[in-house]
Structure 1
Amino acid sequence: MRPPLRAVAMLAATVALITGCDSGDDWSQPHPEPAAIGTLGPGFVAPSTTPAPEATITPQPGSWDGVHPPKDYRVVLLTSGDDDPTKVLVTAVKEWADDEHVDLRTIVVGTAHDAVSSIAEAMEMSPDLIVGAGNDLIDPLALVTPSHLDEKFLVVGAELAEPTHNVTAVDWDGASFRGEGLGASSTYDPKSFTAERCAAAIRAGVAAVLNDLTGIVVWL
């Protein structure tokens, strides 16, 4: 049985104090709607084009480099699994947060049974963005996200089979896990999760979200 959201919120506050990059901000104060700093470069999307829902775009490498989140952008990193690809993703997200002065809180999902309550915990914290890293999160996210369309989610290194407009994913050859009991694709390659690619994934994904290019797959 999933714990009450009020109880989860109390736990989330504790987690925030332990794992936050900026624990001086408890996220209870008024917070403006985040806006991108900088602009997308040529080749991220075709000029005057808005990708259709569930579309896949293939931006030019580096076309996201000019976009940065505002200072103290509030992000919750949800992570599940201790496999090497997940570890590389988590490191990339944390390094990006440090470089960009993002206020990052991390929730580590203990078991598959804990995944839905952990997503609820993240939402109770009222972040600007929830980032998911780890294939074990895909099915729980597919279950929860359609009922919480006001929350923004970014999945790195995997994707949802049928994402709603609030879920953006960054994927590539060698990743592309989609859940739904299908397991990893035949092209899955843990070695494709390089530090450079995972760093590009979080930056490209956040650039898309900050520019309202959501509900799509960004293919690297």
Structure 2
Amino acid sequence: MRRPLLAAATLAAAAALLTGCAFGDDWSQPHARPSAVGEPGAGFVDPSSPPTPEATVTPRPGSWSGVRPSADYRVVLLTSGDDRPTRTLVTAVEEWAEDEDVDLRTVTADGPSDLLPAVDRAIGMHPDLVVGAGDDLVDPLATVTPSHLSQQFLVVGAELAEPTHNVTAVDWTGGSFRGEGLGASSTYDPDSFTAARCAAAVRAGVAAVLSGWTGIVLWVDDF
């Protein structure tokens, strides 16, 4: 009597493997609220004097390294452009996601006319975090993010001129593109987008978002 039941179970397992990778691959399924595993070290921010909205803070180098996302963290990498700084940022996000077992998906804007639609596509996937990489996305993000305050955004290597509380940025001397006609700062230097700096910036930014320090700019000249 047990053999038919065993056969049925085997067939069901095989069907599950054929029809989809896993339930966790479907972002329409219920999802636990993400949290920080660990906490920032001393010098990340001063809890006794928390930064005001839009403030720029300079975390102590490496103070973000003890923070990682909880399981099944869902991230959309929103990117535009094929310049070397953008490619370095994209690689940094991808390597971080692989290291931390993050569920990462990518939305790439197909030219200037697709910038706003690309932002909308990323938001429509309902990730825990949208990470923007590429200066061309700064103005579209500035336009869209105030209307989606429940969605967290992280901008790396650039910043929004007037971010809402759901937009966190990580920047440094040599980055600092702000859009809205402000363009790049006089210190803009594409060579400052090194693999090591971009990797540190991604980790610092994610640590800030997971720890609730959002709507600010983290300055990572030292890392």
Partners of 1:22 and 1:103 within 8 A in 2: no
Aligned to 2:209: 209
Structure 1, unmatched stretches of 5+, are 1-20
Query: What is the SS of the residue equivalent to 1:144?
Result: helix
Give the drift of 1:50: 2.0
The AA in structure 2 aligned to 1:62 is: G
State the alpha-carbon separation in 1 of the partners of residues 61 and 23 from structure 2.
34
Structure 1 outlier segments of 4+, above 6 Å: none
Question: What TM-score do the two structures reach when normalised by structure 2?
Answer: 0.87
Moved more, 108-117 or 126-135: 108-117
The AA in structure 1 aligned to 2:36 is: A
Give the drift of 1:134: 0.2
Aligned to 1:61: 61
Partners of 1:77 and 1:106 within 8 A in 2: yes
Moved more, 147-156 or 23-32: 23-32
The AA in structure 1 aligned to 2:154 is: L
Partners of 1:44 and 1:59 within 8 A in 2: yes
State the alpha-carbon separation in 1 of the partners of residues 109 and 82 from structure 2.
10
Give the drift of 1:181: 1.9
Tell me which structure has the larger Cα radius of gyration.
Answer: 2
State the alpha-carbon separation in 1 of the partners of residues 99 and 88 from structure 2.
16
State the alpha-carbon separation in 2 of the partners of residues 59 and 151 from structure 1.
24
State the alpha-carbon separation in 1 of the partners of residues 77 and 123 from structure 2.
11
Aligned to 1:136: 136
Question: What TM-score do the two structures reach when normalised by structure 1?
Answer: 0.88
The AA in structure 1 aligned to 2:76 is: V
Aligned to 1:186: 186
Say whether 1:81 aligns with 2:85. no
State the alpha-carbon separation in 1 of the partners of residues 22 and 82 from structure 2.
25
Moved more, 154-163 or 64-73: 64-73
Instruction: List aligned pairs for 1:28-177, cutoff 5 A.
Output: 28-177=28-177
Give the drift of 1:150: 0.7
How many residue pairs are counted as aligned between the two chains?
200
Aligned to 2:12: none
State the alpha-carbon separation in 1 of the partners of residues 23 and 95 from structure 2.
17
Partners of 2:129 and 2:153 within 8 A in 1: yes
Structure 1 pair 215–33 and aligned structure 2 pair: CA distance change class (3 A):
same
Aligned to 2:11: none
Query: What is the SS of the residue equivalent to 1:155?
Result: strand
The AA in structure 1 aligned to 2:101 is: H
Query: What is the SS of the residue equivalent to 2:196?
Result: helix
Structure 2, unmatched stretches of 5+, are 1-20
State the alpha-carbon separation in 1 of the partners of residues 58 and 197 from structure 2.
14
Query: Taking every aligned residue pair, what percent have the same amino acid on both sides?
Result: 70
State the alpha-carbon separation in 1 of the partners of residues 45 and 144 from structure 2.
29
State the alpha-carbon separation in 2 of the partners of residues 200 and 53 from structure 1.
23
- Per-residue CA shift, 1:119-164, capped at 9, x if unaligned? 1111111100000000000000000001111110000000000000
